[in-house]
Structure formats: C-alpha cells, structure tokens
C-alpha cells in the first residue's frame, strides 16, 4: 500500500465542507446527546465563538477567526454526520 500525505484528502474534504453544516448531526463526546448542529447553544461572536451541547452544556465546538485564518476545535464532538453534496 502506498503512503499518501494529507493532500490526498483534498477532494473528500471539499465535498464535506460544501454542505450546510448546520444541518449536520453531532454526537456530544461528554453525554452522548445527538442533534443537529443548529441546536447547539452559542456563546460569543467573532472573533471567537463557543458552542455548547444543549443537553449537558459542555463545550462541543470552538471557532476562532484571527490573522486571516479560522481555527476550529471540535474535540467535544464524538461523531459528526454530514450529508454528501448532491445526495
């Protein structure tokens, strides 16, 4: 088997992030609650947003905009289910 670098994921990642992520379903890594990303409770705004689980209130996602980049921390998500584009 040939080893590839992360560039080989470019096409798959492009498919993932061209969808409306608010309709994606998440599973909270802390309590196991499952729901649409749109149901997360958001605290803060640009440049930093913290999204918490509506069930246990633990941090699920942090998004920071700085220096022309976006930093996305999703360690509070055990699983993210995204619809494929065109599906």
Q: What is the pLDDT of residues 27-40, one digit of tens each?
A: 999 999 999 999 99
By CB neighbour count within 10 A (0-12 exposed, 13-18 middle, 19+ buried), where does 1 fall? exposed
In a domain, 1, yes or no: no
Query: Does 86 fall in a domain?
Result: no
Please indicate, yes or no, if residue 76 is contained in any of the structural domains.
yes
At 47-63, the pLDDT tens digits run: 788 999 999 999 999 98
Tally of domains within the chain: 1
Mean pLDDT, rounded, for 54-75 = 92
Question: 73: part of which helix (H) or strand (E)?
Answer: strand 69-73
DSSP string, 38-69: GGSEEE--TTEEEEE-TTT--EEEEEEEETTE
Tell me the residue range of the domain where 60 lies: 6-81
The pTM is what? 0.81
């Amino acid at each position: 088997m040939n080893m590839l670098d992360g560039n080989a994921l470019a096409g798959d990642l492009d498919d993932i992030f061209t969808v409306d992520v608010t309709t994606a379903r998440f599973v909270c890594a802390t309590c196991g609650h499952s729901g649409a990303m749109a149901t997360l409770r958001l605290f803060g705004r640009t440049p930093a947003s913290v999204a918490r689980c509506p069930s246990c209130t633990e941090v699920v996602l942090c998004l920071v905009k700085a220096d022309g980049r976006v930093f996305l921390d999703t360690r509070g998500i055990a699983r993210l289910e995204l619809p494929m584009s065109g599906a």
